[in-house]
Amino acid sequence: MDNHTSLTATELAVCQQMGITPEAYQQANSDGGDSQELEMLIAAGRQDGRIHGPQTEAWLRQQGVAACRSYLDKQPGTSAQALKNGLTDTELAVCRSMGLSPEAYRNANTSKNH
């Protein structure tokens, strides 16, 4: 017997699109205790810009923890290192390629804006 028969066609499509197995999807959505983890993932995604609006947020809540984690892993955002330096990942990459410290980059960009 196929273990995926309880998933709808939409849920199977979500699994395929997000790169997760139907088993992972079922497991993530079968445990009500995952709601706190899901909320933490969504809050982190909103804070660092990987979740762009309320529609995406609502959609991720419907998909569950596994799909949310997979979605966030695939989105460009701001890494912990960039947040620590007050820059985006792109700005941090510019610093590395130009041999600038994050502080020098921030100072140069701040002085242009004042």
pLDDT tens per residue, range 48-81:
888 888 899 999 988 888 888 888 888 876 666 6
Tokens of 92: 């941090």
Mean pLDDT of 83-108: 82
Give CA separation, 37 vs 33, 47, 54, 64, 106, in Å. 8, 15, 18, 10, 34
Chain centre distance of CA 91: 19
Name 87's Cβ contacts closer than 8 Å, sequence gap at least 6.
Answer: 95, 102, 105, 106
Please give the pLDDT value at position 60. Answer: 92
Q: What percent of the chain stands above pLDDT 70?
A: 80
